[in-house]
Each structure stands twice: as structure tokens, then as C-alpha cells.
Amino acid sequence: MTKKKLIAGNWKMNGSLAANEALVKALVAGVATPACDIAVCVPAPYLAQVQSLVTGSPIAVGAQDVSAQAQGAFTGEQSATMLKEFDVRYAIVGHSERRQYHGETDEIVSAKTAAALANGITPIVCVGETLAQREAGETEAVVKRQLAAVIHVNGHCISEIVVAYEPVWAIGTGKTATPEQAQAVHAVLRAQLHHAASEHAAGIRILYGGSMNAANAAELLAQADIDGGLIGGASLKAPDFLQIIAAAR
């Protein structure tokens, strides 16, 4: 089965009107005809700005979070229907920073996944172990538990999700998982998806995230079950992000 890789930038809480314009204009000028799908997941206040900058290019816009709720008294949250009005194609859910700093549980992540799917937004569901969990030999159990919760709530709809394996110890640390370490976990996730959605599992994209950069992207993306990348720091630098895009074929 042929599936395009997905290279998604997660800007996190970075950017300004001026910086975004410079970055996105450089990306649009540099992408030409990419072999992969491309997205930039931007802070909510900039969705409209970035959407207008990418119009007519192969770059899609994503959000970094989505509410599990449809509407109402949920101060500070954005619903999937609101994001949809800004042509948001993807929403990151369950990023480890949200699990860690905002108390997002597997149940909340599963409900957010459902809210995105119900509104035609592709959720990028993040899973990953901490360093302590890896050292305790719990990596497989942790990522399987995180993905199982999403499968339990979303059933056969999980064929529409993107999964991102982001080992917490590799995020923003410059310590990338080796291609072998990443592939081993991706294979575990693939097997779990296969169990849940047999005929669709091969088509579900599993991204790697965690200090992916222009220098290490090609080797990571060459692994059998690595179908793209979720990139933080290196997505803020146009030449680096463009190099990662070029490595995804």
C-alpha cells in the first residue's frame, strides 16, 4: 500500500505575526512539489493568519489541541467546529506537554480524538514514555495503554487517525531515539493497530517525534514503520524544516 509520509511542524508556544509571515513565506517558496504531506500546527491565535499564508500551497494547517466538548462554559478552550471554520486539517491531541502540564489523562485524550474525528479533523494522537518508564522497561506497556484508550473509545474510526510516537526524554533535549529504538516501538504500535483495525492498520501513519532534525530525519524516515515526523524546534527554521520535508519520500 502506498501512503504518503506526513511531516508536521509543532510550533508549540512560539511565533509572532512577523516571525510567522517570514517562516511560512519561506516554506511556501521552498516546498515546490513535495513527495509528502505537510502541516504546520500553530498557536490558535495565528490560525487565520497562517491559513491565508498557505493558501494555494501544499501546506495544511493544524491546531495543537482541541476541546473534547462541543460548546459552552469551557473558558480558554477551542472546539473542533471552531477549528474547522479556519480549515484546520489536523489537531495534535495528547501531546506529552499537555499530559504533563495540563493533566490530560488517557480518557481526555480519547475524548478529544473523538471530537476531532466527528468534525472531520485528523487527530495526531501522541504517545510516549518518560525516561524513568524506559529505564524501568515499561515503554511498550505505556504506549500500548495510551493507544488502547483511544482505540477503546473510537473503535473502527481509528483508521482515520495519525499516531505520533514521541518519547518524552527525546523532546527538546537533542537526544533522539535511535532509528532502531524508534522502529521497535513503531512496530509495537502497528501490531496494536492491526489488532484493532486489521485491514486499515497498514495505512495508518505513525510519526516519530523527539529532536528530529535536518541531520537525522532521513535515517529515521527510512525505517519500515516510520511514516513521517512531528517536529518541534526544527520546524521553526525554514531551511531545516524544508530539508526534513525533502527527506520524506
Catalytic residue IDs: 95, 166
| CB-based burial, 155-173: b 16+ in 10 Å, e otherwise | eebbbbbbbbbbbbbbbee
Nearer Cβ to ligand 13P, position 34 or 210? Answer: 210
**Is residue 167 part of the contact set for ligand 13P (CB under 6 A)?**
no
* Closest separation in Å from C-beta 59 to ligand 13P: 17
Stretch that binds ligand 13P, among 99-107, 111-119, 132-140, 225-233 (CB under 6 A): 225-233
Mind giving me the DSSP string for 45-112? GGHHHHHHHHTTSSEEEEES---SSSSSS-TT---HHHHHHTT--EEEES-HHHHHHS---HHHHHHH
Q: Contact with ligand 13P (CB under 6 A): which of 37, 160, 166, 225? A: 166
User: Of 49, 61, 58, 66, which is closest to residue 87 (Cα–Cα)?
Assistant: 61
**Is residue 146 part of the contact set for ligand 13P (CB under 6 A)?**
no
* Closest separation in Å from C-beta 207 to ligand 13P: 9
Contact between residue 40 and residue 54 where contact means Cβ atoms under 8 Å apart: yes
* Closest separation in Å from C-beta 41 to ligand 13P: 8
DSSP 128: -
**Is residue 172 part of the contact set for ligand 13P (CB under 6 A)?**
yes
Chain-centroid distance, C-alpha 188: 18
Stretch that binds ligand 13P, among 76-84, 181-189, 210-218, 237-245 (CB under 6 A): 210-218
* Closest separation in Å from C-beta 237 to ligand 13P: 11
Residues that bind ligand 13P (CB under 6 A): 10, 95, 166, 171-172, 209-212, 230-234
